[in-house]
Amino acid sequence: DAMVIQNPRYQVTQFGKPVTLSCSQTLNHNVMYWYQQKSSQAPKLLFHYYDKDFNNEADTPDNFQSRRPNTSFCFLDIRSPGLGDAAMYLCATSRWTAGAEQYFGPGTRLTVT
Amino acid sequence: DAKTTQPTSMDCAEGRAANLPCNHSTISGNEYVYWYRQIHSQGPQYIIHGLKNNETNEMASLIITEDRKSSTLILPHATLRDTAVYYCIVRVAESGGSNYKLTFGKGTLLTVNP
């Protein structure tokens, strides 16, 4: 089945140690999104790619970066994770058509020790 | 995007209809109502969306009031697997600008009981 895949499902990193989360999709969607969801909170958009065009949300910290080497893959890099970055990170995709629904992966739960 | 108001939590008996309300009194004419749900430890899942007419698909029905200031998501025969947080989101369904965004509110935790 076509889907959005996130690896790993659980990631533990140390305070200040860079970490990369990955997302891949088989839907051939041209838009990919990264959301952060902290415990008991709603998902919050960090940034998205329309094809190779990167769009950062205004309040996304500089500590968060992203790469999209091709249509299928997108990476979230956290340069120096702090304890406050512990969260579920959700990848989503959609077509770039008016009102297209977003398809979410299962998420990667990041723990910072 | 217009803000939405949902109850924090609701209970429903298995096999009965679950009716989840959402208020969006400041909705604009070009804004659609979307519903997503998030089962525990999973990513959100699209359910349904509509503009002003009632909509139905294999998962649920969406009833939008005539003045469009509120809507109800109906799960006709709730099962234990429908226990989830349900998000009502109002969003412009036009290309361009910030219309790609899904701005999630707090949602409603629906608990389906055996």
Residue B72's pLDDT is what? 98
Q: For strands B61-64 and B70-75, give the pairing.
A: antiparallel
| Residue numbers in A near B101 (CB within 8 A) | 45
Average pLDDT, chain A: 93
Q: Report CB contact under 8 Å: A42, B106.
A: yes
B4-44 pLDDT, tens digit per residue, is: 999 999 999 999 999 999 999 999 888 899 999 999 989 99
Q: Which has the higher per-residue pLDDT, B95 or B19?
A: B19
The total number of residues shown for chain B amounts to 114
Name every residue whose Cβ is closer than 8 Å to that of residue A57 and which is 6 or more positions away in sequence.
Answer: A45, A46, A47
Q: Is the pLDDT of residue B99 over 70?
A: no
Q: List chain A residues with CB under 8 Å of B32.
A: 99
Number of CB pairs, chain A paired with chain B, less than 8 A apart: 56
Judging contacts by C-beta atoms under 8 Å, the chain A residues touching residue B100 are 31, 33, 48, 50, 94, 96
Task: Dig out the tokens for A63 from the structure.
Answer: 């500590």
Of the partner residues B44, B95, B107, the one whose CB lies closest to the CB of residue A104: B44
pLDDT of residue A97: 72
Beta strand ranges found along A51-94 (DSSP E): 53-56, 64-67, 73-78, 87-94
Mean local confidence (pLDDT), A74-80: 97
